[in-house]
Structure 1
Amino acid sequence: MNSVLIAITVLSCVSANEPKINDIISTLEKAALFFEINYDRFNLDGVSGYSILQGKLYDVSWPRHGLAHCPVSFTECMSCCGDRDPVSGSSTSFEPLLQINFWTFRPEWTRTDSTLVYPKWRVKECFEEEDSDTCMFQILGTGKDYRVPCLDTTMCKKLMTTLYCPDYSLPHQLLYFIFTEIKNCTNIVGSRHPGLRHSVSTQHLKKIYCTNMMEINLQIENDGFPVYRRDLFLENIMLCGMIGYSDFYKTRWLEAILSWQYPNGCYVKMGRSMHPKERKENAFTAHQEVKREDVLLDDNCSCHKTAIAVGALGGYLRFYGTS
């Protein structure tokens, strides 16, 4: 049994009286086995969600269960990935994301602010995937032309602080500022927006982004969780929960996420409808597809969606274990 399953088993023992936690653990056990069987077919983007789970569970303590502190170490959790060759040059630049000490999490909890919901949304995404990657590499210092972290460029500041961006642009903007905080990029301090008369701090920008990611998730829920929108829904929970927005951890959302897992442990790119209206909505267009390159396995299993589901569920465990 690999260390992921051992760690999950430990959590199960100390959480026996918590039905929701046990449901999450059962789901993660199946997802861990699915990864163990198929890890050599995952791309780096798919692996990253498991790395986030690793970091979140390491951060969990369980004082309510009679133990002052129950640290869960996952230093070997992703060891099976060490023998893998990077999928691409882009993947190589994101390899630091797989290190257990990369991800950090806010110790305190906060909530979104509905007064910050955008009064309007841009019709199109604010940037292409390649531009977003370039900005991430500049912060991480991992790109071919960016060997020093925390590079501040006019292009990236403009892209990552643009307001009213829809859908996939928002989590990319948020992730950029998560990276700046992790890398302690004190030179990246927010920006002045054309629509505002004052400078905005990075912390306030993150609140703006998570508030609007919450609004998107509520819209997705209202639409009956169409399959083609679930990856965005899960990503929003994973990232905003990571930086302490507790209102993303709604019980009804947890129940939906748990129900989407297939018996083999994966989450599918497209599949059976849960809601009547979803049957009409599953015919998606190019701008609605997952932005990050995905790998589809047998039974239409999505590496990307499975990984972010794991990351989101890890956030629920951390929330129940630290709040």
Structure 2
Amino acid sequence: MFYLITLMLYINFIDDWSDFGFRIRKLFQNDIPFIHTIGNFNRGRMVKWILSNETVNKFAQDIDKAILPKETFVNLIVYMQNFSITMKDSDICISRITYNSEVLDVNKFRPCRRDPHCEHCIRSDPSVAYSLSHRLLNLQLRLGLKRCYVKSVEEDEALFDKLCAQMYRETVYIARRGFFARDLFLEHIALCATAGYEEFYRRHWFQKATNWLTKNGCMSEFRNFNINRTKELIKYAGNDRKMKERFVRIKCELLNIECDEHATDVLLIVLAHAIRHAARFMNKV
């Protein structure tokens, strides 16, 4: 899980935050409470939200029916800034977790330090794709690592169920549409399986993910996904020649990547979940 967090935060290093590395090290100086982010296996906790008409975005019904065009979903991924939490918001809010006091008793929850901006990011709709997983990750680190709650333990856990339910719906959608967004597919499984939601433990999904590994032990994003994503970025650049050239260069770099570090690390987490689940229930197979 440590690799997942650090790779999610890499984007902020380009901003030269003098204390950023310090805060990340401080976040993990005592990782014993982090064990509490690993939930017991459970089934059915998400049913209320999976069957509910209350959704976190206006695309949920088309996602459930698997009729949302893949191109539209890719656009939603590209334009994450249109949703309640951006990558930068997420990374800032993760680093701010270090401002909370150290855990004295892992069996007791206390209020998180007040942070209106991050509270809004974590609790506000609409959300889709990475904005969903980053909201969940921030909530997970507060509940699990710092043993603190944003609203209350009950409300935060209910939000956890709601977010994972929507992530499950997206994961099923991606699988039904040919696993066209591998990294997101794996990230949703990695985070929600950590919390023990058994709906994310599907043998077929684990087998499919294993097939993405190369002989070198790496994986890369689906090629067509990178093509469509950069096409959208180039379109976004409009008449800005320098920006367009930059996105074309990014496209070439993405298409030549054989080992996507983030996707590979998340895949390893997913496969660790598969082993954990198999070990737990092997005697029942």
How high is the TM-score relative to the length of structure 2? 0.65
Cα distance in 2 for partners of 1:117, 1:251 equals 29
1:94 corresponds in structure 2 to 24
Q: CA offsets per residue over residues 25-82 of structure 1, 9 Å max, x none? A: xxxxxxxxxxxxxx9xx9941899xxxxxxxxxxxxxxxxxxxxxxxxxxxxxxxxxx
Q: Distance in 1 between matches of 2:32 and 2:90?
A: 23
| In 1: Cα distance, 2:5 partner to 2:56 partner | 35
Residue 130 in 1 paired to residue 88 in 2? yes
> CA offset at residue 223 of structure 1?
1.1
Q: In structure 1, what is the equivalent of residue 57 of structure 2? A: 121
Deviates more, 1:162-171 or 1:122-131: 122-131
> How many positions carry a matched residue from both structures?
218
Give the equivalent residue in structure 1 for 2:140.
178
CA offset at residue 264 of structure 1? 0.7
What does residue range 303-318 of structure 1 map to in structure 2 within 5 Å? 303-318=261-276
Match of 1:269 among 221, 224, 230: 221
Letter in 1 for 2:136: L
Structure 2 residue 258 is matched with structure 1 residue 300 = yes
What is the DSSP-based 3-state SS (H/G/I as helix, E as strand, rest coil) of the residue aligned with 1:201? Answer: helix
* Structure 1 equivalent of residue 119 of structure 2: 157
- 1:288 and 1:303, CA in 2 relative to 1: closer, same or farther beyond 3 A? farther
* 1:169-318 alignment runs, 5 A limit: 169-190=131-152, 201-226=155-180, 229-271=181-223, 282-285=226-229, 300-318=258-276
3-state SS, counterpart of residue 211 of structure 2:
helix
- For residues 261 and 185 of structure 1, the distance between their equivalents in structure 2, rounded to whole angstroms, comes to 35
Q: Distance in 2 between matches of 1:186 and 1:219?
A: 33
The reply on whether 1:106 has 2:63 as its aligned counterpart is: no
Q: Distance in 1 between matches of 2:211 and 2:29?
A: 27
Determine helix, strand or coil for the equivalent of 2:204.
helix
1:259 Cα deviation after fit? 0.6
Structure with more of its chain in helix, by fraction: 2
5+ long unaligned stretches in structure 1? 1-38, 49-85, 192-199, 272-278, 290-294
Q: 1:298, CA displacement in angstroms?
A: 8.0
Would the aligned equivalents of 1:138 and 1:148 in 2 still touch at CA under 8 Å? no
How many percent identity over aligned positions?
22
CA pair 116-243 structure 1, distance change in 2 beyond 3 A: farther
Q: In the TM superposition, what is the alpha-carbon distance from 1:317 to its structure 2 partner?
A: 1.2
Distance 1:286 1:297, change over 3 A: closer
Cα deviation, residue 126, structure 1: 2.1
Q: CA RMSD in A?
A: 3.6
Q: Distance in 1 between matches of 2:194 and 2:278?
A: 13
TM-score normalised per structure 1: 0.58
Long gaps (5+) in structure 2:
59-75, 77-81, 103-111, 234-252
